[in-house]
Homo-oligomer: A and B are copies of this chain.
């Protein structure tokens, strides 16, 4: 599946899509961030990691581009963040469908006064992409976590 020019080009375009996802989130560029997702995208980042005390972990996924941007921008507003995606494994399924797995790290500095001020997490994104009008977007993403550190 990696042997054609069309496939290699699609893989590179999806790598860039995910690079923008992380960069625009950390830059808090929410109009650019919205363009990353399909209108009906599914965003499921609340992994029920045993050690993760987040009570929101039982919440359902966020559905739809507008709701995703609202959810992420509200959540990250008080936080300084650096998100990294590593070592993508991207499968181009057809001209307009693909899947990908990315290892990730998220480093979050929270405002003083909370139970911790620095969060560092590790895990994987499991994603589907779709292409419309010549442009790849994230159609769904789900996070699974390996480990978190809070100090």
Contact B89 A16 (CB under 8 A): yes
Q: Mark A113-143, 1 if CB is under 8 A from B, else 0.
A: 0000010001110000000000000000000
Which residue of B4, B12, B147 contacts A11 across the interface (Cβ within 8 Å)? Answer: B12
* Nearest CB in chain B to that of A21: its residue: B87
B22 touches A87 (CB 8 A): yes
Across the interface, do B81 and A23 meet the contact criterion of CB distance under 8 Å?
no
- A8-B12, A23-B101, A86-B84 are contacts. A122–B107 as well, Cβ < 8 Å? yes
Q: Which residues of B contact A2 (CB under 8 A)?
A: 9, 12-13, 16
Decide if B146 touches A80 in the complex (CB within 8 Å).
yes
Copies in the complex: 3
- Across the interface, name the chain B residue whose C-beta is closest to A123: B82
Least CB separation from A15: chain B residue: B87
**A7: shortest Cβ distance to chain B, in Å?**
8
A85 within 8 A of B: yes
Closest to A19 in B: B87
Query: Is there contact, CB below 8 Å, between B103 and A84?
Result: yes
Q: Which residues of A contact B (CB under 8 A)?
A: 2-5, 8-9, 11-13, 15-16, 18-20, 22-23, 26, 80-82, 84-89, 101, 103, 105, 107, 109, 118, 122-124, 146-147, 149
